[in-house]
Amino acid sequence: MKGNKEETLPQAENIIAKKILTLRGKRVMLDRDLAVLYGVETKRLNESVKRNIMRFPEDFMFQLTEQEFENLRSQFATSKSGGRRYLPFAFTEQGIAMLSSVLNSERAVQVNIQIMRVFVKIREVMILNTELKFKFQKIDMKLIDHDKKFGIVFDAIKEIQKPPEKKKRKIGFERETD
């Protein structure tokens, strides 16, 4: 995060965006990824959180289950060797915002600002995608309606193009009856 702010900001935002996961229907970041961004050990980050646990209700932070952790491990193809003796913690956007006050460092504040900007951009993209999806659905419905109308027009043209049926004359005489 050194150098020209305009050069590093998009790169930093890209790094942050790649670390945002969806778990339990929420966008979250894992404790280890946040610790790297904040420049602290994961253990120290979690100790700070535990000292201030009242600031982190379940909608701000939760611990992954064994199954969630295994799914993540297989998704990112990481090995079981090394490291963790406990299941990681996942922080929602609100939990991440709370972290800056718990960690109380200049870097934590700056990192949080960037993380919040990324979350906002993700929301904007999702809204835009939803709007585009709705517009495409409207266009699709119009095309279906137009297809039906063209079908009716083509059927009418086919009827018009058919040669008129010639009346067949009956062979023989008709007999009159009294």
Given this model, what pLDDT does residue 13 score? 76
pLDDT tens per residue, range 126-152: 787 777 777 888 887 887 877 788 788
Domain assignment present for residue 175? The answer is: no
Instruction: State the burial class of residue 175 (Cβ atoms within 10 Å of its Cβ: 0-12, 13-18, 19+).
Output: exposed
Taking a C-beta distance cutoff of 8 angstroms, is the pair 48, 103 a contact?
yes
> Tell me, what CATH number does 27's domain have?
3.10.260
Domain assignment present for residue 172? The answer is: no
Given this model, what pLDDT does residue 77 score? 57
Given this model, what pLDDT does residue 4 score? 45
SS3 23: strand
| Structural domain count of the chain | 1
* CA atoms of 150 and 144, how far apart (whole Å): 10
Domain assignment present for residue 106? The answer is: yes
Given this model, what pLDDT does residue 118 score? 84
Domain assignment present for residue 140? The answer is: no
Instruction: State the burial class of residue 88 (Cβ atoms within 10 Å of its Cβ: 0-12, 13-18, 19+).
Output: middle
pLDDT tens per residue, range 22-76: 889 999 999 999 999 888 899 999 999 999 999 999 999 999 999 998 888 777 6
Domain assignment present for residue 10? The answer is: yes
Domain assignment present for residue 157? The answer is: no
Domain assignment present for residue 169? The answer is: no
Give the confidence band of 81 by pLDDT, cuts at 50, 70, 90. Answer: very low
* CA atoms of 38 and 104, how far apart (whole Å): 11
Average pLDDT over residues 97-125: 81
- The pTM of this model reads 0.58
Average pLDDT over residues 147-163: 80
Query: Do you know the residue count of the chain?
Result: 178
Mean pLDDT value across the chain:
80
Q: Which residues span the domain enclosing 87?
A: 5-128
Domain assignment present for residue 155? The answer is: no
